[in-house]
Amino acid sequence: MHELGLCEDIVAAVERRANGRPVARYRVQVGRLHHVHPEAFEQSIEMAAAGGPAEGAVAELVLVPVRVQCTTCGERTEADELISACAACGSMDVELCGGEELMLEFIEYEGA
Ligand SMILES: [Zn+2]
């Protein structure tokens, strides 16, 4: 499960920001290029959070689509996987502009 390393990083970031406060809920945005599966994510978060202030907190996963912008026609294409051609004109001259995100969006604390 490659999700575990990623989830350890997420939980570490949550714990750093929580600074000892008990965490109730948090939301992370993860780009599709990290190839995170929601079920594996949940299990990995549980394992990573065990014994810490984020244990038992609800972790919301938001998967951010892969986005490329065509440098030929300017069209933006969204997809679940990395794509190498523009959906509008077929050009291979595309720039990656989304899908690599790994961001802690918010944290809610117990009793807040
Ligand atoms: Zn194009």
Ligand 1 centroid to residue 30 C-alpha, Å: 26
For residue range 93-112, what is the model confidence (pLDDT) as tens digits?
A: 999 999 999 999 999 999 86
pLDDT digits (tens, 9 = 90+) for 57-95: 999 999 999 999 999 999 999 999 999 999 999 999 999
Alpha carbon distance 77, 97 (integer Å): 10
> In this structure, are residues 77 and 70 in contact, taking their beta carbons and an 8 Å threshold?
yes
Q: Which residues of 65-101 are buried (b: 16+ CB within 10 A; e: fewer)?
A: ebbbebeeeeeebeeeeebeebeeeeeeebeeebbeb
Tens-digit pLDDT profile for residues 13-33: 999 999 999 999 999 999 999
What is the CA(76)–ligand 1 centre distance, in A? 8
Listed in sequence order, the DSSP H helices in 21-112 are 38-49
Q: Ligand 1 mean position to 34 CA, how many Å?
A: 25
Interval 44-66 mean pLDDT: 96
Which of 83, 101, 80 is CA-nearest to residue 37? 80
